Amino acid sequence: MLDKFQEQYLFASVEKLEHIKKEITKIWGDNNYYVNDEKINNSIDKVISDIKNIKPSLFNNPSVAKYNTPDGRYPTTPIIKDEE
C-alpha cells in the first residue's frame, strides 16, 4: 500500500518520463538525428507502463483538477490575522 507522498512521487515520476520523452523526440527532430530513436521511445514507454502498473487506479483519474464551486473557481483561503 502506498501512502499519499509515494503516490505523488510515482505520479510525478511518470510525468517527468513523459516530458523527457517529448524533449528527446524534439531534439532528434530538430537535429535530424535518428539513431535507435524508436527503440529508445519503446523503452521509455515500457518503463512508463511498468510504473503505471504499480498502482493503475492512480492514473485512471483525469489529470486536470476540477473544483466543486458552482463557478468552477477554486475557493479562496481566508486570511486570518493574529491579534497582538
| Ordered alpha helix ranges (H), the chain | 4-31, 37-52, 56-59
Q: CA-to-CA distance for 32 and 9, rounded, in angstroms?
A: 34
Per residue in 5-35, pLDDT (tens digit) is 888 888 889 999 988 888 887 777 666 555 5
Per residue in 44-63, pLDDT (tens digit) is 899 999 999 988 888 886 55
More confident residue, 66 or 24: 24
Q: What is the structure's pLDDT at 39?
A: 77
Q: Are 7 and 58 in contact (CB under 8 A)?
A: yes
Q: CA-to-CA distance for 29 and 13, rounded, in angstroms?
A: 24
- 40: nearest Cα among 20, 14, 10: 20
Q: Running DSSP on this structure, what letter comes out for residue 55?
A: S
Give the phi and the psi of residue 77 in degrees, each rounded to 5.
Answer: -90, 130
Q: Which three cell numbers stand for residue 38?
A: 524508436
